[in-house]
Each structure stands twice: as C-alpha cells, then as structure tokens.
Structure 1
Amino acid sequence: MRAEVIESKDGTKIAARVFETPGPARGSVVIGGAMGVRQDYYQPFAQWAAQQGWRVTTFDYRGSGDSAPASLRGFRADLFDWTRDYEAVVDAAHAALPGQPLYLLGHSLGAQLPGLFTNQHKVSGLLSVAAGSGYWRENAPQLKRIVPYFWFVLVPIATRLFGYFPGRKLRKVGDLPAGVVLQWRKWCLSPRYSVSAEGEAVRASYANARFPVHALSITDDELMTWKGTHSLIDLYENAPREVRKLAPADIGARRLGHFGAFRPENEQRLWPRIGEWLAGLGTARTA
C-alpha cells in the first residue's frame, strides 16, 4: 500500500491509498466509502482484493478522514464537492490502467454519488453494497423512528452551534462539514432523494449512466431497506441493473448489517463472492 494525494477539480487535496497487485492487474477497483466512514475501514478488504489481482484505490472525501482540515468549523464542502473528489480518484485510477476495466465498489453513499459523475464513461460497472435512496420514509424501521428528531432537531441545532456537524461527540455518523450534512438532510427528506431535491439536471445525470449496476440489499441492514435500495438503483434508469438480497445465513454468519460486508471476519465467507460479483460486472448486459 502507498499513500497518494489526488487533486480534485478545484485543487483540493484528497488523501488516497493505492493497493497494487503482486502480478499483472485484472483491472481497477475504486472503493467509494459510506457517509462518515474513513478509508481505514476498507483497508483489510482492499489488501485482500489486491491479492486477487485488482489494483484498489481508497480515499477520504474532503473534510473527512485524512482529507480533513485541522478544524471543520466553517469548512466549505457539499455532496457535489464530494462527487468531484470521487471523480478525481476515478480519473487517477483510470489513468494508471487505461486499457483495463475500472469498477466501483460503492458502500452506501459510495453507490449514490456515481450517478452524478461527469466521467461515467470511465466506469465499467458499479457494485453497490448496503446502499439505498436515503429517503427517510424508506429507512429501516428502527432508524425511521428516530430520524425526525435527527433531521429536525439534532442536525440543525448542532450544526448551527458548532459550524459543522459534531457527529463524533454525538456518536452519530461522524464529523461532517456543514454543507454536506445540510444537503444530505435535504436529500433524505425528499421522496426521490437527490433527484427530487436537486431537480432535472441530477435526474438526467443518473439517466446518462450506462455502466452495469449490481446492488446487494442486506436483509438485516439497520439503516437501508429492500424498497430503498430499489429506489436508488432505479435512478440509474438506463443502466443494466440488478438488485440481490444478501442474508447473513447465506454466508453462515449471525449478522451482517450495514457495515458487516467489509469486516475481516467475513474474509473467507463473503469476500470471494464480492470478488465474483465485481468480475461479473464485466459480463453484464450493456445498454
């Protein structure tokens, strides 16, 4: 593994890590992380995938993880900026292996943002893990009970007081730039998520995607639901797409949840399947 700094379109420095293969690479995998999750979390999987022949890149969105400033108070960033950061990582990975396929492994938010890319032609496929639209009425039951308080009380008040969302102190999501959390709030309160929150340009951007999308809906996900996953994946309306249920029992586990797919204890029973699903994107029907 080596650390890299990748420049986003506006010159913002993005901290990334590249995991090279021991031999010739089968292609590139860029891991797009979930909201509030540092790239460190994906390192064990990235190391494993590199041993399977993939050149893997992880990164932290601006204002988070190793891409965070000394203080988030007043730091300017929104989800469109995070999309540009993700794009820049895709550009760098594509340039490193221009003749090879490039797949996205999108965890939660990491499967939402590719619909907004301006460089979708560089993407060969998206494997979505535990991702849904985020619209609050389609959240899992245990989450849906608390989100009105989260969106209408906690987020507005805490963000105004601190100048950012102090998620670490509150043990909710993680520290987030004010622009990110307030735009995310807008999306999560909108029935068609980013499309109904932002309008026609965003709808058209998702519709432009032609790369295959394969989504895993985790049956014991404490945040996302089967319906929410379909709502997200259907935004990619012109892409070949498939949604598959994945239950803990399918891999002999007691629990998976929203974050379990990337935990090291699932290396033997789940990661080889994820590798197969990634490779399968190369044989998916193209639109």
Structure 2
Amino acid sequence: MTVGFHDYDPRISRVLTFGSGMGHHSDHPRSYRPTAIAFWFIVGPVAIALSGYLPGKRLLLGADLPAGVYWQWRRWCTHKSFFNGDIGKALPQPSYAKTVENVKICVAKDDVVVPPTAVRRYASFLAQGGVSYVELDPSGLRVFLLLGISKALAKAMKACGQTFWI
C-alpha cells in the first residue's frame, strides 16, 4: 500500500505486493460484504470500546492493532476516496511516478478480503511508475486466506514470474 510514499534505497530492484489494494467495503463480493461491514461498523468499534485496542489475535483477525491505527484504516476503507483525505495531514504527498522500476501488483481472482477491484484501483495509481498488474487464477494453487503461509506465498510469487525473494 505504501509504494508511492517511500523513497527506495537504490539497492532495491523490485517490489511485489500481493493483495494490497485501495478497497472500499462495497468492493467486496456480496457473499463477503456482511463480514466486512460487521468488521468496520460493529466488531472493531465494540472490541476497541471494550479493550482500548483491536485485539486481532483474540478475534482471530491477525495482529493486534492500536485503536488509532484501526480508526485510520476504517476511515480509509469506508470512504470511496480511500486515504486521499489524509494526504497533506497524516500522510505526505505521494509520488507515484518515482518508485522502484520493477513493481508487480498481484491478486488472486477470487480474493474476497482484498478483491481484484481494489487492487486494480491501487495499480492505476501507480501506473505512471510502470507497474505490472497480475491477476492469478488460484485453481491449482492452495488458496491462502491467512498471512504468513510462506509456501503458498512462494507459489504465488512464482506464478507472478518471480523467484522467491522478500
């Protein structure tokens, strides 16, 4: 998500993102949309009200997040302009033209959490930097729903035409 917000060390020759996008809760398929809406408008706010942070580990949602991080993320994913309202305030002005020369943005065609629509939107912001957008067909690959499954990530990277590098 942050490719346009960084100056990269010249030793970095390529960047690969998988499932990074600028998503709005309405981008999700209808089957997943109630889950996304519940997370942004019920589960997250109630969890933070009770514990002072988003207890992602206890809720089986990933990492614990400070309340401010959740609220910023929620603001982005519940507004069509995503993070544009924070540019010049909490975020610097991005430079999508000056980035790493070899950027591949990959997504699985059936990803319901960060759907292809959201990833294509992100890729379009980086288009002037010469990025490649790759949509993977997960048939034949084990579908990975949780971060940290390195064998599945390695397969996805190979499908994107990359050797395993991080």
Q: Identify the TM-score tier after normalising by the shorter chain.
A: 0.7 to 0.9
1:178-208 superposed Cα distances (whole Å, 9 cap, x missing partner): 12111111111121322x2313575831424
Distance 2:159 2:58 in 1: 34
2:116 is aligned with 1:229: no
Distance 2:25 2:163 in 1: 29
Q: Is the 8 A contact 1:115 1:236 kept in 2?
A: yes
User: What TM-score comes out, normalization by structure 1 length?
Assistant: 0.48
- The one-letter code matched in structure 2 to 1:178 is A
More strand by share: 1
Aligned-pair CA distance for 1:258: 4.1
- Per the alignment, residue 273 of structure 1 pairs with 158
Percent identity between the two aligned chains? 21
Per the alignment, do residues 170 and 244 of structure 1 end up closer, same or farther by CA in structure 2, a change over 3 Å counting?
same
**Residues paired across the two proteins, number:** 161
> Superposition pairs for residues 12-31 of structure 1, below 5 Å?
none
- Per the alignment, residue 199 of structure 1 pairs with 87
Q: 2:52 aligns with which of 148, 160, 163?
A: 163
Q: Is the 8 A contact 1:203 1:235 kept in 2?
A: no
2:75 is aligned with 1:186: yes
Distance 1:172 1:199 in 2: 28
Aligned-pair CA distance for 1:138: 1.6
What stretches of structure 2 of length at least 5 have no aligned partner? none
User: What TM-score comes out, normalization by structure 2 length?
Assistant: 0.78
Aligned-pair CA distance for 1:243: 0.9
Computing the radius of gyration over CA atoms, which structure comes out larger, 1 or 2? 1
Distance 1:239 1:113 in 2: 13
CA RMSD, 1 decimal:
3.0
Higher relative contact order (CA 8 A, sep 6+): 2
What stretches of structure 1 of length at least 5 have no aligned partner? 1-111, 280-287
Per the alignment, do residues 258 and 238 of structure 1 end up closer, same or farther by CA in structure 2, a change over 3 Å counting?
farther
